[in-house]
Structure 1
């Protein structure tokens, strides 16, 4: 694991346990992070498994929320700007039972940059949808097990 990801994962753990313990309880790991996209892995285990042996709906929603939120936080940090954000709504399509570790990918980096620019220029809150794709590589490769559309609301200053 490279130093940047090591620092990011430590920061994620500290943030989760201090502010949103449920995230820390699920044990996510940042797998990939760049200016365009972010990938986290949520392990399937006793904390995230449902009665059918697949990942629990709440853990899937947590992963989708987390990957989108971390990308926004990283964008704000990289620019040195305060970026206040929330998710106004979420739509989830659950396509297959994820019976292994789940990867959550969000490639909305460019869209988030544009939202931050628009908010800084207008002084207003900007709302736009972002996409998150969940896969279970150990069982179905790159085939999605779930797709999420989250309406991201950003106010930058």
Structure 2
């Protein structure tokens, strides 16, 4: 799926199901078989009273980076996949005071989860990680690290 198509899919999904995602103006900047990178601007919509990206906005970005690959992989494979997060853990290391990037490199884990769920018919739960960076201020230094337990149940389309 091209980045343009992925971003349109993200906008449509946000508009239809979770408008709060759209309010934060995320954008997919990199997506391949194993990696998804989403940016979110540092703006009045995403900042807190201290001038850094608000916790809720960070959670939205981590959610997208951790789950959008499920959506795109299932669609490309012609599979129905229901997914949600069972829990989340976050380590906040530094205040991100500019545009943030959320990166997950767990595409292989997601492929395995979809395969296992198709084979067993069961819901599969595994942790995925998302690293938050603020490249314009700190390069690749992590601002936060999220670990989310992703829960996927997949079935072939009829």
Give the alignment partner of residue 39 of structure 1, picking from 37, 40, 62: 37
Q: Which runs of 4+ in 1 moved over 3 A?
A: none
Give the Å deviation of 1:15: 1.1
What is the SS of the residue equivalent to 1:82? strand
The match for 1:59 is 57
Q: 5+ residue gaps in structure 2?
A: none
Q: Give matches, 1:128-147, under 5 Å.
A: 128-147=126-145
- Cα distance between partner residues in 2 of 1:44 and 1:22: 16
The match for 1:89 is 87
What is the SS of the residue equivalent to 2:129? strand
Give the length in aligned residue pairs.
155
The match for 1:100 is 98
Give the Å deviation of 1:146: 0.3
What is the RMSD of the two structures over their aligned residues, measured on CA atoms? 0.9
- Cα distance between partner residues in 2 of 1:10 and 1:79: 19
Which range moves more in the overlay, 70-79 or 95-104?
70-79
What is the SS of the residue equivalent to 2:96? coil
- Cα distance between partner residues in 2 of 1:123 and 1:17: 31
Q: 5+ residue gaps in structure 1?
A: none
- Cα distance between partner residues in 1 of 2:80 and 2:100: 30
